[in-house]
Amino acid sequence: MNINKVLLIGRVRREPTNKVTPGGTTVFIFYLTTTNDINGEREFHKVVALGALGESCVSSVHKGQLVYVEGRIKTSDWQDRDGDKRRSVEIIANTVKIFDLLKVEEIEEAEIEPFNPPRKK
C-alpha cells in the first residue's frame, strides 16, 4: 500500500494568484511557509487548488493568513530555456481551511492541534 498525503499548517507567504484554463478550470496558487517546531527551520511550499476548491479560495485566501492544507505531493521534471533539467514540487490541495476562522469543533474533527505561534519578546 502506498500513501501520498500531506497535512500543513502555515502562513500564506504572498498574495495568491489565480487563472482559468481554456477548459474553464480555476487554478489557484499560493505559497505557504511552515516552521519546524524542533529546530525553527522554515520550509516554503507551493500549493495549488483546482476547480471548485480553487474558486472558493479566490475570495478567502490572502497573504498572512494562517491556513490548514490537506493534499498530495506532485513532482514535475522539466527543462529550462538553456536545456538544463529542473524539478519542481507542489502540493495539490484537496482541502484548504482558513485556520484563523476554524471553530474548535472543526479543529477536533480535522484531528489537528490548535496552533499557537510563539510570542515575540
Residue spans per domain, the chain: 6-109
For residue 103, what pLDDT is reported? 52
Which tens digit of pLDDT belongs to each residue from 5-49?
A: 999 999 999 999 999 999 999 999 999 999 988 888 999 999 999
CA-wise closest residue to 42 among 50, 57, 31: 31
What cell does 111 get?
484531528
Q: Which CATH architecture is the domain 6-109 placed in?
A: Beta Barrel (2.40)
Which tens digit of pLDDT belongs to each residue from 48-103?
A: 999 999 999 998 999 999 999 999 999 999 999 999 999 999 999 999 998 765 55
Sign of the C-alpha dihedral computed for residues 13, 19, 23 and 25 taken in this order? positive
